[in-house]
Amino acid sequence: MSRCIYLDYNATTPVALEVTDAMVPYLRYHFGNPSSGHDYGQRAHEAVARARDQVAALIGAGPAEVVFTGSATEADNLAVLGVARALKGRGRHLITSAVEHPAVAAPMAHLAEEGWEVTVLPVDGTGRVVPADLAAALRQDTVLVSVMHANNEVGTLQPIAELAALAHARGALFHTDAAQSAGKVAVDVGRLGVDLLTLAGHKFYAPKGVGALYVREGTPLAPILFGAGHEGGRRPGTENVPSIVGLGAAAALAAERLPAITRTLKVRRDELHRRLTAAVPGLVLNGHPVARLPNTLHLSFPGVAGRELLAHAPEVAASVGSACHAEGDGVSGVLGAMGIAPERARGAVRLSIGEPTTADDIDAAADHLAAAWRELRHA
């Protein structure tokens, strides 16, 4: 078998060499506890502070507004549950969308079991929330709206600034999960107008097991873990210094490379789309044709199952949907929410490229996928 071409960057990314280099000293030499007063501890403390500055700079935040977590899932849980606990005396109504990642959908469901009322907004055929639907759903007792910035499956970008403005006009806070968008497109908390925003390290070339939550200054947020007073009392636990250093280094890399990387990813993605469209009659794009991630191509191949197609193209490492719930052959919840017919959804494949993806990779991947489709169609 020829070299496998990795087109699953929305599932995870490799750790960048610059990130690994930044982390190594904190794995081998500067191993102190950041809360310790001696030199070892102070070196670690300074490294965490530097990383906080780097992450804040990537998203246009203040360093004190960045809370380090063990993952984006933890950050989402902290945002949803933390705001709900802090504001339960003011109201018990929450709003989210039908295409959220389980890291938001599950804590919302948990709160519903505890008696909270949760409104789930529908999406249109491109996967976007219609602002008028949010305006109609907002109530006096709504305390939080959570809508992801970019969908992890189809790549659709939501009109976050407009949605956040609507929420604020009714006195509600706004959270967005930017795990998929950070490092691919510009993410600025001021322009988005959000109160809370989630980041995932392993989606933009940092290691797995580290994330961050932006919390706008003055935003009420109760802890969901209990212990010592780390992270301003919002997330207890001794900081994972090497991974936090890696997250900071990855954020600095992303800030340096944007917007050039956005343009490069879009060129590669569009070339892959062009080649596949020419080779596969009836191929259909899922998601918004314009407002979507520059690296994400979600396609439905006619007359075949996406999972079967990928099995017949072992030279291409891709997926049929989110890696967080990829088992089974049922229609993706995201595609179902978009109203996509089961037969079209059955043939869906998510192809997501990254900075290491070359033009040769694009050509080879298109050839392998088209050949696999022809083989299945004529079997």
* Catalytic residue IDs: 324
* Residue range 27-82, pLDDT digits in tens: 999 999 999 999 999 999 999 999 999 999 999 999 999 999 999 999 999 999 99
**pTM of model > 0.85:** yes
- Entry field: residues in the chain: 379
- C-alpha triplet 59, 61, 62: angle, nearest 5°: 145
Cα–Cα dist 339/154, whole Å: 13
Can you tell me the mean pLDDT for 162-171? Answer: 98
Biggest CA-to-CA distance, the chain? 70
User: Cα–Cα distances in Å, from 55 out to 24, 180, 201?
Assistant: 19, 15, 10
What are the tokens at 254?
């992303």
Closest alpha carbon to 307 in 261, 345, 342, 263: 345
Q: Say how far apart CA 103 and CA 72 lie, in whole Å.
A: 8
Q: How far is CA 266 from CA 258, 319, 352, 376, in A?
A: 13, 19, 11, 29
Instruction: Note the pLDDT tens digit of each residue in 246-291.
Output: 999 999 999 999 999 999 999 999 999 999 999 999 999 999 999 9
| 3-state secondary structure labels for all residues of the chain | CCCCEECECCCCCCCCHHHHHHHHHHHHCCCCCCCCCCHHHHHHHHHHHHHHHHHHHHHCCCHHHEEEECCHHHHHHHHHHHHHHHHCCCCCEEEEECCCCHHHHHHHHHHHHCCCEEEEECCCCCCCCCHHHHHHHCCCCEEEEECCCECCCCCEECCHHHHHHHHHHCCCEEEEECCCCECCECCCHHHHCCCEEEEEHHHCCCCCCCEEEEECCCCCCCCCCCCCCCHHHCCCCCCCHHHHHHHHHHHHHHHHHCCHHHHHHHHHHHHHHHHHHHHCCCCEECCCCCCECCCEEEEECCCCCHHHHHHCCCCEECECCCHHHCCCCCCCHHHHHCCCCHHHHHCEEEEECCCCCCHHHHHHHHHHHHHHHHHHHCC
User: Each residue of 113-138: pLDDT tens digit?
Assistant: 999 999 999 999 999 999 999 999 99
Q: What is the mean pLDDT of residues 164-179?
A: 98
pLDDT per residue as tens digits for the range 320-373: 976 554 455 567 899 999 999 999 999 999 999 999 999 999 999 999 999 999
Residue 2: pLDDT band with limits 50, 70, 90? low
Give the integer Cα–Cα distance in Å for 15 and 205.
Answer: 5
pLDDT tens track for 75-106: 999 999 999 999 999 999 999 999 999 999 99
Cα(379)–Cα(376) distance, integer angstroms? 5
For each of the domains in the chain, give its residue range(s) and CATH number, in order of start. 5-14+258-377 (3.90.1150.10), 17-257 (3.40.640.10)
Here the tokens at position 122 are 């529908």
Residue type, 310: L
Query: What phi and psi values does residue 121 have, to the nearest 5 degrees?
Result: -80, 140
